[in-house]
Amino acid sequence: MLKKNPLALIDWKALAIIAVILFIGVLTIFSATYNSSGGGIPLYYKQAGWIAIGMVFFFAGATIDYQTIAKYAYPLYAVSLLLLVLVMVIGRSGFGAQRWLSVGGFSFQPSELAKLATVLAITRYFSDYPARYGYTVKELFIPGVVIAIPVLLVLKQPDLGTALVITFVSLGLIYLVRIRSKFFGLSMLIGIMTFPFLWQLFWESLKGYQKIRLMTFVNPMADPRGTGYHIIQSKIAVGSGGFMGKGLFESTQSHLNFLPARHTDFIFSVFSEEWGFIGLAVLMLLYLGLITWGLDTAIKSRDRLGMLMGSSLVCLFTCYCLINIGMTLGIVPVVGIPLPLMSYGGTSLITTLFSLGILFNIKKKRYLFS
């Protein structure tokens, strides 16, 4: 039966969770950067501007039919590949990587678009070509190529974190659509046999500093003033927050400049020091609530495309949360992954809000025809 009240189709609880996390993010960026030297527009103002732009994309994702979005998944994927190639040619370099394109005074990171475009492209493929009894290895060749091209281009920048996220989410989607049991066993056997070769290929593709990061992850105390500095200072910040936290604007690790990238990759550490265990528990519940809502939306979607697209986007969001929080706690290597909705940065925020908008779209369709 068709429901006519558009306000009744909006999931206000999920919208409220997103708004609260965005507010916490701006507040934490404000706290982490308000006493920083340098002129120009403060970063918290810029982040508020990115949120305003991101909300436009959010409502676009929520209102344009996700089946229409899927129709443009392949062109979007092609554009993202073109942008990744452009990064290699005319991209802006910084922090040892060449990841950004500058247009009209603004910089954006094409790898953020590539991760979303790749997920949408393989989602459309599996939706267009369903396999009732699971896919054969041969049938997975095309999606394998679709995944491999952006992963290799992103690794070339280099951006190991985004490459790993694209790989993990894609493998999760392949697991969801299933491989035929006999081919699954065969692919596992091939994977085990070729693992040493693949690992050597992966290791040789890394830059020197990336190899050091991975080795530092195992033993950060081997070089506490050098490569292990980020992890050690982050763990100190998280631990020093205690049960109740030091309070807003009282993060000593941040304000005394011990904590690097405090408004981007390590914003979780700043929040932990200021709000302690209680604050972390609330923040974790907010993220868990949003992820649970996304999974429920995907599982109960009214068609296969909605289920696959919703599952992929939730997997993408969850990967970013787990990797970012894991690297601030020292249980995952530092790979430069932002915390969704909280870390400073326009491209990541816009793509995340667009993804969440699509999830709202999927849920709205379920209500519309329930």
Enclosing H/E stretch for 97:
strand 97-103
**Helical (H) or strand (E) element with 98:** strand 97-103
Per-residue tokens: 61 = 């994702």
Q: Higher pLDDT residue, 99 or 356? A: 356
DSSP 1: -
Name which of 121-125, 157-161, 178-182, 331-335 the model is least confident about.
178-182
Confidence tier at 170 by pLDDT (50, 70, 90) = confident
Average pLDDT over residues 52-66: 94
**Which pLDDT value is given to residue 184?**
66
Reading the block at residue 92, the tokens are: 């802006």
Does the structure show a pLDDT above 80 at 5?
no
Q: Which phi and psi angles does 103 have, rounded to 5°? A: -135, 120
Nearest to 153 by CA among 166, 141, 142: 166
Check if the beta carbon of residue 213 is closer than 8 Å to that of residue 219: no
Share of the chain above pLDDT 70, in %: 89
Q: Kindly state the average pLDDT of the residues 67-79.
A: 95
- Whether the per-residue pLDDT at 163 is higher than 60: the answer is yes
The per-residue pLDDT for 8 is 65
Q: Which residues, including other chains, have CB under 8 Å from residue 140's CB and lie 6 or more apart?
A: 174, 179
Q: Which of 7-21, 63-77, 317-331 has the lowest mean pLDDT?
A: 7-21
User: What is the full DSSP assignment across 99-133?
Assistant: EEEEETTEEE-HHHHHHHHHHHHHHHHHHHS--TT
DSSP string, 314-335: HHHHHHHHHHHHHHHTTSS---
Q: Which among 64, 160, 61 has a CA at the least distance from the CA of 116? A: 61
Cα 137 versus chain centre, distance: 28
Structure tokens at 254: 């941040």
**Long-range contacts of residues 247-251, Cβ cutoff 8 Å, at least 24 apart:** 247/274, 248/27, 248/31, 248/274, 248/275, 249/31, 249/34, 249/274, 250/274, 251/31, 251/32
Please indicate whether residue 44 or residue 93 has the higher confidence score (pLDDT). Answer: 44
SS (H, E, C) 236-298: HHHHHCCCCCCCCCCCHHHHCCCCCCCCCCCHHHHHHHHHHHHHHHHHHHHHHHHHHHHHHHH
- Per-residue model confidence (pLDDT) at position 361: 92
pLDDT at position 108, please?
83
pTM as predicted: 0.88
| Residue in 257, 270, 356 with CA at minimum distance from that of residue 18 | 356
- At 61, is the pLDDT very low, low, confident or very high (cuts 50, 70, 90)? very high
pLDDT of 323 reads 92
pLDDT band for 86, please (50, 70, 90 cuts): very high
What would the two tokens of residue 213 be? 């990061």
Residue with tokens 């020093």, as numbered in its chain: 240
Q: Phi, psi (5° rounding) for residue 10?
A: -85, 135
Mean residue pLDDT across the chain = 86
Beta bridge partners of 106: 103
Pick from 80, 82, 74, 22: which is nearest to 49 by CA?
22
pLDDT exceeds cutoff 70 at 351? yes
d(CA 83, CA 101): 8
**Predicted pLDDT at 291:** 97
Average pLDDT score over residue span 328-336: 85
